[in-house]
Structure formats: structure tokens, C-alpha cells
Chain A
Amino acid sequence: MWIEIAHFSTLIALMLAGLMLIAPWIGLRWQRMVWIRVARQAAFMICALLTLASAGLIASFLKHDFSVQYVAEHASLKLPVFYLATAMWGGHEGSLLLWAWMLSLFVAIAAWKHWNTHPVSMPWVLSINGGLLLGFLLLVVFLSSPFERLLSPPPDGRDLNPLLQDPGMVFHPPFLYMGYVGFAIPYAFAMAALITSQGDSEWILATRRWTLFSWAMLTIGIVFGAYWAYYELGWGGYWAWDPVENASFMPWLTGLAFLHSVMVQERRRMFKTWNLFLIITTFALSLLGTFLVRSGVLSSVHAFATDPGRGVYILMFMSALLLFSFGLLTAKSDQLRETPKLESPWSKEFSFLINNLFLVAGACTVLLGTLYPLAVETLSTAKVSVGAPYYNKVFIPIMLGMLALMGLGPLIPWQRASLAKLRQEFLPAGIIGLIGMLVAPLVGVTHPSGAIATGLILFVGATHLKDLLRNIKTRMSRESLSAPGAFLRLVTRNKRRYGGMLVHLGTLVMVAGFVGSGLFQEERDLFLAKGDSMRIGSWSLTLESMDKTARRNWQADEAVIRAERPGEATLMLRPQKRVYSEHSQPTTEAAIHSSWREDLYVVLGDGVKDGVWAFRIYRTPLVSWIWIGSGIMVVGVFWAMLQGRRLQRRAD
């Protein structure tokens, strides 16, 4: 019953999406405003209908309706309610519906918020989003439907993949999708600006919050995924350069490039075409991320062949989007032709361009590494792997260049800087960084990229601090304020700038986490029997006992390990090896003791013989800095989002 409601409302939404695509054209062609209002109402209706459809699918899960194929494949009677309610995005079909639902929600918000402020763009924004919704809903309804009934329903479902029965995995997809989907709005505004030939900065100002929001959501989604991989997969790491991860990382990089380069357009009215190119690319990569991950194309060519219909449709949809977007950009390039003038390479404008160069080169590297195995496999019979070692050697140097640029950010002026001025600005910070780089190997950071990163962290930190202190001093003397008062005034008056600085600070904290966890991780593989002890770092670990434990849909072997360290309270760690009732493959539940200095991470392996068990133990310094840094980053983005439009007016 619920599933039929969901199915029918999706069908109606599909038809309304078609209407939304066409109605604005009719309205503009025959000058009938009513048709544009029709498209707007369609946007609201689609949002309501897809909300109902998603609710219907979730209800089918909650009611254990195993006559629905999708429910039977991704849930079971024993599955806890929390995972039942969120199993909707546990598989390909449901997550495409989630995507479409989120898109409809964002489109409705855009149609509501920007209706009065952007009357010229609005018909096109509606039409383009109608096309996107139509494309997605066609896929949901005809090629990967979560609404299929089974003729003979099984008594119990096949259960959700145990790896997904975890809070991290529950929140990871919605945030990631919010990021992906969010870029659809700036994309549509950009296309509307191109179509109506008002390709100036209006669309950038209109969508500034959308891009910031989407980028923040993408960040949260990626970090949730990394955190989940860290504590659920039991391999002591958090990022494997897996094609799935890479797919979400690419739009993040190009989106970041966009966030920087739009500032040049706002301030100097330059690089319009480049910004359009970046937003199109970012959205296209978001789509690529959704499609390729969920259809399994990236993992193997063969998965593609198992469902040719879906694969071909996805390819066609992507090609249509790319042809339309870049075709339009080329067609309109004459009107966009501009004659940029830059006074000096020693300027903020030019530093943003180099920033873009590094970020786009980074994104291309990830794309190359991700698609290369696919290309080799298609073009020849050979198979190659491109794994983490490749990215560590190629991508990290590029990002170190990026980090160095970050240090220039706050201190380099717009337009032009004299060399003497630059020397005065950067010499102290440069010396601090250089000293850090030289001292680092002496205190154990012997790996070249570790030493360089350490120096750069200090350099960037110093330039940011210098900028902050100087601005506080100026305010103190100009407005006769106390230091904290001046600081508060500063960060609340210019939220965008200081939000950005906070993002930079978060990045530094994260980089420290990457250096610590990437270069100084210690591992031990050994066998322990009851009563045995081992040492790692300053910790001494003793296996106290081996227990058995069980919950509703799993049972587990559990080791009880006492961890001690001089001058600290004793800890009990309980790593598990779980077997879920509907699945044969056991999963590991690592026991993690996290602190700001280091994480102690214990994984229970196989039982070898009477009472002897294999253990893998990691000591990973600074890994929690990655989570903290990303938190700071997200707070920074939201702070920047609070900035109204006052700043841009003043800049004009």
C-alpha cells in the first residue's frame, strides 16, 4: 500500500518535472507569465510528492514489507529501527530517490527565495532543474526502481549490509548528496545567466551561499565517510584513495577552486568564463560521483555490463548535460569575451589563479588515477591498479604547493604589491617556516614531505596570525577598543574573510593530523593468549579474557584488553569480531582509545588455536586532529555564510 503511494507520487512528480522543463519556455515564447508561475508551482508540488514518495519507502521499511524487493534486499526483521528508517539509502535504487528528493527540496527553496529577486533568471533556473529532475526520475522510475513488488515475498529480508549498520554510514550519504545536489542550484543560475546573456556577476552573488553550503556539506559528507572507514573497517586508516572516495573528492577540489576564483570576479569583474567553466565542471563531477559510484562502473568494467540499460542511460544523461553546458558556454563565449587587466603577478588576483591551477591539477590527477585502470582495461587486455602509493607520490606534492599558496592569501594585496612590501610582509613568516622545515628532521620528522608540511604549517600559521594581529591593532587604535573587543568587532564585521581564515586554520590542523597519522603510525601483528602482554609506544596491553557477546542481530567474540600507561588511568578496550545472523562474513569492531595526542586502535583477528588469538594493534599519532580540523573548517564555512551582501556592494 505505502509503496504504491510512493510509486504513484514519483510518477506524478516525473510528469510535473517534464512540465517544469517546458512551461517556462512556453511562458517566455508567448509572453505568458502564468506558465512561469506554473513551473514554480510544479517545483513545490514535486518537492511535496517526492517527500511523500520517500516517506512511503521508509514506511515500507518500518512495516517490514518484504513484498517490496528493495526492502527485502536491504532489511530484515531483526534490523534495529534506526537502521530500518535509514536503510532507504542503503542501496542504489533508494539512494537515487534520496538524491531526487533532495534536489526537489533545494529547487523548491530556490524557487521560493529567489523568485522576487531574480525574475530574469528564474524561468531558466526552473527549466534547467526541471530537466535534471526529469533525468533523475526517469532513472528512478524505469531503470532502478525501488518500488518493485515481489510475486512471492520472502518471510524475512536479506538484511542491511553489516558495514552499513553504523551511525557513520547513516549520515555519510545524505550529507554527501546535499553537497552534490546543492551545486545544482549555482549551476542552474550560471546556465540561466549564460542563456539570458547577463553573464556578469549577478549569478555569483545570488548563489554565494548555495556554493558555500554545498561545499560545507560535501566536506561533512567526505569526513563522515573517512571517519566511518576509520572506526568501522578496522584497518587503522581513514582514506584509501578508493574510486568511491575519489569521486566525492573531485567536486570538492573544483568547488574549492570556484570559491576562491569568484572573488576575483566579484572584485575585478574578470574571469567570467573561467568561473562558469568551474561551476559546470563541479556539478558535472558531482553527477559523475553519484552515478559512477552507485552504478559500480568505476570498480570494474564488468559491473557496467551487468546492467547495460542503466549504464547506457547514465552515459547518455551525462553526455547530454556536458554537451548542453559546454556547448552553451562555447556558443556564448563571444559575448563573454573580456580583456582582463592585471597590474602585477604579485597580487591577490594572480595568487587566486595559481590556487586554481593547483586545485584543478589536483582534481585532474585524481580523475586520471581513477579512470586510468578503466582506460587500460578497455584499450588493452592488461589490468593495472592505481592505489594509495601513486597518490601519495603525485597528489601530495601538488597539495603541498597549495598549502604554500595558502600562506600568501591574507597578506598579499589586491592589484599590486611592491617587492619591498612583500619582503616586509613575508620575511618573518618565511624564516619561521624555513626554521621549522630544518628543525623538523631533527625531532624525528625525517620524511621530506613531512618536514616540508611542518614548515609550511608554521609559515601559513604565521602569516595568518600576523594579519589578524595587525587588523586587531588597527581597530584598537581607530575605535579605541580593548584587544578582545577589537577581535570580536573584526570577526563579526567581516564574517566572510574571517570565516575563510577559520577554514584555513582548520586545514592546518588537518594537515598536522595527516602528517602525524600518515608518517608516524606504528603497527604490531601478534598472537596473544589470555594473560599475555605487549607493548606499543608507551602503552602496555594485556589480554584479560575472551568473552562471547550477542545483540539482536549479531553475536561476537570479544577480547577484553587492559591498556596501561605510566601516569594514566587504566583503560579497558573491547575489540569484537562480529557475525551478523543474515551474513556469513564476519566484521571487525575495532576498539579505539582516542586522545588529542594519539589513538590506540585494537583489532581482533582470527582465533588461531586453543585460546590464542591474532591481534593487530595500531598507535596513530594526531589522527583526531583530522576530525577536529574538519570541524573547524565547517564552522568557518558557516561563519562565512552568515555574511550578508554588504561587502560586495562596498567592493564595487
Chain B
Amino acid sequence: MRHFPPLLLLAWLLAMPGPALAELRGEDPTEAMVRHIAKDLRCAVCQNQSVYESNSDLAKDMLNVIRAKVAAGEQETAIRDYFFQRYGDYIYLEPTTQGMNTLLWSAPFIGLGIGGLALWLAMRQWRKRANENVKPVPTHAAMQERIQKELDQLRM
């Protein structure tokens, strides 16, 4: 092959099908940002999928809108706001931490704290009870006699 004139080599390469012409494709550099934004936006017609994960036409359109905006150099917050203006809170998969939502975010930990406190207080009681000396109850003489009698019978 070394003897081939350069031009012929080029022609030969061009004529070869497939892999020889292979081009290493990379991802569009903005795509990571697109993904980052699209993963936290809800596909508005799906049950519970993000714009990034959904296969629906609307999600694809929304993804393209995000792509165009990222390509145009818009900031993440601006793009998120754009969708917020149109769909409201609903569009964010991660609920905001404002208003009623503070309850949503804090309730699990408050519950855990209250539960832990209750357990601790209960534990103190249970412990006190366990450590109290168990005093023998004085038995009635007649009862004592009967117990003894039955025990004797058992031994036979």
C-alpha cells in the first residue's frame, strides 16, 4: 500500500464501506446541561416521568425547547422559570420548599424525632419498672397450706 499515490489512497478509502470512514461521535457539549434541566421537569402529560425519561411527543417537544434555550445560552434558572410560568409548581418533580410544601419536606424528620422522643420516654418508664424490686406478695395461710398440699401430691 505504501506504493499507492496519495490520491489513489484517498479514493480507495472513500470507496470502502462502513467503519473505515468511521467518525468518532461525541455528545453535544450542551447536552449534559439539557439533561440536568430535563430530569427535574415533569412531562406534563405523563403519570410520573421526567421530560428526559418520557417517550411522549410532548416530552420530546419540551426537550427540544430546552435544547434550543440552552443552545441560545439561556441560564438554567431562566429556563426553569419559563416552564414554571406555563405550568406552575406542577412542572417541578422536586417540590419547592415554600408554603405548604415545608410540611411535606419536614414532616418525615419531625415524625422521626417525635417517635424517637416518645420511645425514649417510654423506655425510661419500662426501665424503671424492670429495675423495681419485685416484692413477694404475702400469701394467705390457708392458701399456703393448699399449695403445699398440692405440691406434695405432685411429688407422689
Cα distance, A172 to B17, chains bound together (Å):
46
Cα distance, A244 to B46, chains bound together (Å):
13
Whether a CB of chain B sits under 8 angstroms from the CB of A387 is yes
| Stretch with Cβ within 8 A of A (4 or more), from B1-9, B70-78, B123-131, B138-146 | B123-131
Whether a CB of chain A sits under 8 angstroms from the CB of B102 is no
Are B93 and A368 in contact, CB atoms less than 8 angstroms apart? Answer: no
Residues on the A chain within 8 Å of B127, using CB: 341-345
Specify which of B20, B55, B91, B100 is in contact with A588 (CB 8 Å cutoff).
B55
Whether a CB of chain B sits under 8 angstroms from the CB of A480 is no
Whether a CB of chain A sits under 8 angstroms from the CB of B31 is yes
Quick one: closest A residue to B57, CB to CB?
Answer: A585
The residues in A between 386 and 401 inclusive whose CB is less than 8 angstroms from any CB of B are 386-390, 393-395, 398
Specify which of A354, A368, A387, A398 is in contact with B50 (CB 8 Å cutoff).
A387
Whether a CB of chain A sits under 8 angstroms from the CB of B101 is yes
Are A243 and B48 in contact, CB atoms less than 8 angstroms apart? Answer: yes
Residues on the B chain within 8 Å of A388, using CB: 50, 93
The residues in A between 472 and 501 inclusive whose CB is less than 8 angstroms from any CB of B are none
Specify which of A242, A524, A544 is in contact with B47 (CB 8 Å cutoff).
A242
Are A384 and B25 in contact, CB atoms less than 8 angstroms apart? Answer: no
Specify which of B22, B26, B35, B49 is in contact with A531 (CB 8 Å cutoff).
B22
Chain A contact-residue range equals: 35 or more
Whether a CB of chain B sits under 8 angstroms from the CB of A365 is yes
Cα distance, A237 to B48, chains bound together (Å):
13
Are B48 and A241 in contact, CB atoms less than 8 angstroms apart? Answer: yes
Are B24 and A390 in contact, CB atoms less than 8 angstroms apart? Answer: no
Are A384 and B112 in contact, CB atoms less than 8 angstroms apart? Answer: no
Given A241-B48, A382-B89, A341 and B130 contact (CB-CB distance below 8 Å)? yes
Cα distance, A390 to B18, chains bound together (Å):
46
Cα distance, A588 to B54, chains bound together (Å):
11
Residues on the B chain within 8 Å of A353, using CB: 119
CB distance from A355 to the nearest CB of B (A): 11
Whether a CB of chain A sits under 8 angstroms from the CB of B136 is no
Whether a CB of chain B sits under 8 angstroms from the CB of A385 is yes
Residues on the A chain within 8 Å of B60, using CB: 606
Are A390 and B23 in contact, CB atoms less than 8 angstroms apart? Answer: no
The residues in B between 62 and 83 inclusive whose CB is less than 8 angstroms from any CB of A are none
Are A240 and B35 in contact, CB atoms less than 8 angstroms apart? Answer: no
Whether a CB of chain A sits under 8 angstroms from the CB of B28 is yes
State the interface size on chain B (CB cutoff 8 A): 51
Are A237 and B53 in contact, CB atoms less than 8 angstroms apart? Answer: yes
CB distance from A405 to the nearest CB of B (A): 12
Given A237-B53, A342-B127, A384-B89, A242 and B48 contact (CB-CB distance below 8 Å)? yes
Whether a CB of chain B sits under 8 angstroms from the CB of A422 is no
Residues on the B chain within 8 Å of A358, using CB: 112
The residues in B between 98 and 126 inclusive whose CB is less than 8 angstroms from any CB of A are 100-101, 104-105, 107-109, 111-112, 115-116, 119-120, 123, 126
Contact with B along A344-369 (1 / 0, CB 8 A): 11000010011001101100110011
Given A242-B48, A342-B123, A387-B94, A544 and B18 contact (CB-CB distance below 8 Å)? yes
Are B93 and A385 in contact, CB atoms less than 8 angstroms apart? Answer: yes
Cα distance, A279 to B73, chains bound together (Å):
56
Are B35 and A383 in contact, CB atoms less than 8 angstroms apart? Answer: no
Specify which of B34, B90, B109 is in contact with A384 (CB 8 Å cutoff).
B90
Cα distance, A343 to B126, chains bound together (Å):
7
Whether a CB of chain B sits under 8 angstroms from the CB of A304 is no
Whether a CB of chain B sits under 8 angstroms from the CB of A542 is yes
Are B22 and A382 in contact, CB atoms less than 8 angstroms apart? Answer: no
Quick one: closest B residue to A387, CB to CB?
Answer: B93
Cα distance, A158 to B43, chains bound together (Å):
27
The residues in A between 536 and 594 inclusive whose CB is less than 8 angstroms from any CB of B are 542, 544, 585-588
Residues on the B chain within 8 Å of A390, using CB: 93-95, 104-105
Whether a CB of chain B sits under 8 angstroms from the CB of A340 is yes
Residues on the A chain within 8 Å of B34, using CB: 525
Cα distance, A240 to B22, chains bound together (Å):
37
Are B22 and A340 in contact, CB atoms less than 8 angstroms apart? Answer: no
Residues on the A chain within 8 Å of B49, using CB: 235, 240
Cα distance, A372 to B101, chains bound together (Å):
9
Given A241-B48, A531-B21, A383 and B27 contact (CB-CB distance below 8 Å)? no
Residues on the A chain within 8 Å of B119, using CB: 350, 353-354, 357
CB distance from B17 to the nearest CB of A (A): 8
Are B25 and A527 in contact, CB atoms less than 8 angstroms apart? Answer: yes
Residues on the B chain within 8 Å of A350, using CB: 119, 123
Specify which of B22, B27, B115 is in contact with A361 (CB 8 Å cutoff).
B115
CB distance from A462 to the nearest CB of B (A): 26
Whether a CB of chain B sits under 8 angstroms from the CB of A33 is no
Whether a CB of chain B sits under 8 angstroms from the CB of A528 is yes
Residues on the B chain within 8 Å of A372, using CB: 95, 104
Specify which of B28, B42, B123 is in contact with A345 (CB 8 Å cutoff).
B123
Are A394 and B27 in contact, CB atoms less than 8 angstroms apart? Answer: no
Whether a CB of chain B sits under 8 angstroms from the CB of A532 is yes
The residues in A between 246 and 275 inclusive whose CB is less than 8 angstroms from any CB of B are none
CB distance from B68 to the nearest CB of A (A): 15
Are B50 and A542 in contact, CB atoms less than 8 angstroms apart? Answer: no
Specify which of B20, B91, B130 is in contact with A343 (CB 8 Å cutoff).
B130
Whether a CB of chain B sits under 8 angstroms from the CB of A234 is yes
Task: Sample 12 A-B pairs with CB under 8 A, ordered by A number.
Answer: A345-B123, A358-B112, A365-B108, A372-B95, A384-B90, A385-B92, A526-B27, A526-B31, A527-B25, A530-B18, A531-B23, A542-B19
- A-B interface, 9 closest residue pairs, ranked by CB to CB distance from nearest: A387-B93, A389-B94, A341-B130, A235-B53, A342-B126, A383-B90, A365-B108, A242-B48, A534-B25
